[in-house]
Amino acid sequence: MTRAWLDAGLPVAERVDALLAAMTLEERVAQLHQVANPDPVRDAEALRSGAFGTCIVASGAFAGTVRDAGTQAASVNALQRVAVEESRLGVPLLVARDVVHGHRTVFPIPLGQAASFDADLVRRCARAAAVEATADGVRWTFAPMVDVAADARWGRVAEGWGEDPWLASELGAAAVEGFQHGRGGGGLADPDAMAACAKHYVGYGLAQGGRDYAEVDVGPVTLHNRHLRPFVAAVEAGVATVMTAFHTLDGTPMTAHVPLVREHLKGALGFAGAVVSDWDAVAELLLHRVAVDGAHAAARALRAGVDVDMVSGLYAAHLVRLVREGSVPAALVDDAAARVLALKVRLGLFEDPYTDPGRAAAVHLSPAHRALAREAAAAAVVVLRDDGALPVTSAGGVRVHVTGPFATARDELFGTWTLDGRGEDVVTIAEAAAERLGPSVTVDDGRFTDAALVAARAADVVVACVGEHPARSGEANSVTSLDLPPGQRAALEALRRVARRLVVVVVTGRPLALDGLPGDAVLLVFHPGVEGGHGVVDVLTGDVPARGRLPVSLPRSTGHVPLHHDHLPTGRPLDPDGDVDRYRDDRDPPLHVFGSSAAASDVVYGPVTTSAPTVRTGGVVTVRARLTNGGPTAVVETAQLYVRDDVAEVSRPVSELAGVRRVALDPGASDDVVFDLTSAELAHRDASGRPAAVPGTFTVRIGPDARTGPTARVELLDADADADAHDDDIALRRPADAGR
């Protein structure tokens, strides 16, 4: 038998067709079966018979909160050797792991990376993670998570890019490119490239009550304009795989959702990669009570478009018989197997299934990766308040005392979904403070708050490091209260009474309700990773300008969520300057606005100008503003472009993020920020997901956050309305009653 699938000179599709033709039905079904933690000895017979095509190295269903022994190239090579050299067709194994925000070098959790508003930084962190994880034999990661989440009670807000669809799209796509070593997956065959996985398709961030796994009810316009957008961006970036979510959407589990998975993702969006279920989710169709038995669950999932069954075993147990008896078309199995095999071909696994065991030592925690982790940690720090307490210095004998549960925290700085990080690698906040500010720094871990008061009284500046332990962040970890953990606010109030100057650092995996928090300065950092201590101190001391911005709105209380900046105006809009609030027991607006920072800044935003007052469909309008740093220190300003569709066929958000520009400004310097806004970026999606650009005016704003900054108007013209409209203009979709 000529093994054409081994011919690297052939197109991928030809190689896959040749392999499928050589495979038995059992072998094709096996490619759809993912097992957990196989052993090269215990599972040797299964590997020889080609009984499974992929595996996940994980500590179990809640991998994000349970550490495991990790994986090494040697153990992966042992598995591959049996699969490739002792099986009938020698099809290599595809090894997967949740490499979410780093591998041995742990970067800030994605929510922390999102605070940078910096796609390039996210891409570099993902690239470094891929270099480290592939050195351990991992070639498929279950990341990036691109769920848009506005309910901070949900623990998985930690894993995403915040509440904004545009930011989630930009950063999710950047992570895909970083993992896959390029756009469109062009670099997937590089040994240090990893197949990425956009998850959890779709709408998981809407879990009712913030309760993980709870049902989701959402209309099509919201689904297309908020929750599907990051998946469209990931598909356009060439993401190799997509993972379906656990939850039901309008009553149908996503694992069995034919309209959204097979018809929309694989049909309308043209996704040609592989779809994988979430952990045991095929079997969970029985618990959703939408399948009578395992065979029915397997059939429903495969029909919906789920190609790979993660660890339930129901595909392996039932699909051969279901095909043989005519209940499931063989074509569905063949299509799914083709998608998995195409991925293995694109990853170069047939040419090079083994990993050089010497790579890991050379790349894990390399100086370059540590430096990147430090840069990312500093960018994850958001200044919420600064009454002149920053920067912290020990000059002139200033005595600094560091206290609080996060002062000496190591593992806890990692945050959720840290599988290969090690606490001993962490630089704590206290260590970084002593290193930077000198031996005069005193430290206690906050266990004895009365002792901390004694030490605080003897200091000139107290840095109190509080926040949320990762144990209550991430999957299956929802909370009913966004307050600081028990006792911390009381400890801060006690410190407030004795400290000459109090700087509070809040370390967390989610937005918290920090209204009335004491402190002359308050900094928020989302679990910053292995270099978290250095990153926090770099910002505290002013060595690194505080550039972090809020990727989420911070609520005044738990009662205010869900909360997001791009809400609809309603028929009775809030009057930000008036007293129109809807809650009778608190103010409505967020305590801190999306995109904001209270870092000392005297940046002035000049008027917004547009290159033309109108833009035709298919056209581009340039929007710009001049920024001037009127202050005494250099800043890195994150200018944000927001658009508002003034009138459309459906009610549109009060403002939508549409661009970000970071600009470094020395004292007194000015610079323009320029955005080329296309008519497509002004369009919203209708209920079927198609772009709907209704002619009319848009308000564009360039500012430092979701609520402030100068505005301008631009009008989107209907192609017909413009006498010299060019033939290439895209005919507008106009609501029937729009009138002329």
Catalytic sites, residue numbers: 278
**Cα-only R_g, the chain:** 27
Q: What is the smallest separation between the CB atom of 94 and ligand GLC, expressed in angstroms?
A: 14
Using CA atoms in the order 286, 292, 295, 300, what is the torsion angle rounded to 10 degrees?
-70
Q: What is the smallest separation between the CB atom of 374 and ligand GLC, expressed in angstroms?
A: 27
Peptide bond into 632 cis (omega under 30): no
CA-based nearest residue to 676, from 619, 623, 723: 623
Q: What is the smallest separation between the CB atom of 209 and ligand GLC, expressed in angstroms?
A: 18
C-beta of residue 544 within 8 angstroms of C-beta of residue 538:
yes
Of 278 and 420, which CB lies nearer to ligand GLC in the complex structure? 278
* CA 235 to each of CA 119, 174, 270: distance values in angstroms, whole numbers, following the listed order: 17, 12, 8
Of 61 and 330, which CB lies nearer to ligand GLC in the complex structure? 61
d(CA 492, CA 496): 6
Of 198 and 377, which CB lies nearer to ligand GLC in the complex structure? 198
Helix, coil or strand: residue 328:
coil
Which stretches of the chain bind ligand GLC, using CB under 6 A?
Answer: 56, 58, 61, 63, 98, 142, 199, 278-279, 475
Of 37 and 609, which CB lies nearer to ligand GLC in the complex structure? 37
Peptide bond into 735 cis (omega under 30): no
Q: What is the smallest separation between the CB atom of 526 and ligand GLC, expressed in angstroms?
A: 18
Q: What is the smallest separation between the CB atom of 62 and ligand GLC, expressed in angstroms?
A: 7
Helix, coil or strand: residue 210:
helix
Which single residue is written with the structure tokens 């006690």? 494
Residues in contact with 726: Cβ distance below 8 Å, sequence separation at least 6, in sequence order: 616
Of 253 and 689, which CB lies nearer to ligand GLC in the complex structure? 253
SS (H, E, C) 246-266: CCEECCEEHHHCCHHHHHHHH
Say how many CA atoms lie within 13 Å of 55 toward its Cβ.
Answer: 25
Peptide bond into 357 cis (omega under 30): no
Element (H, E) at 36: strand 33-36
Of 167 and 198, which CB lies nearer to ligand GLC in the complex structure? 198
Of 158 and 295, which CB lies nearer to ligand GLC in the complex structure? 158
- Cα Dmax for the chain: 84
Taking CB atoms, the residue at the shortest distance from ligand GLC is 142
Alpha helices in 347-401 (DSSP H): 359-363, 367-379
Q: What is the smallest separation between the CB atom of 61 and ligand GLC, expressed in angstroms?
A: 5
Token reading at 185 = 């997956």
Q: What is the smallest separation between the CB atom of 275 and ligand GLC, expressed in angstroms?
A: 13
Work out the angle between the directed axes of helices 532-540 and 429-437 (0-180°, nearest 10).
50
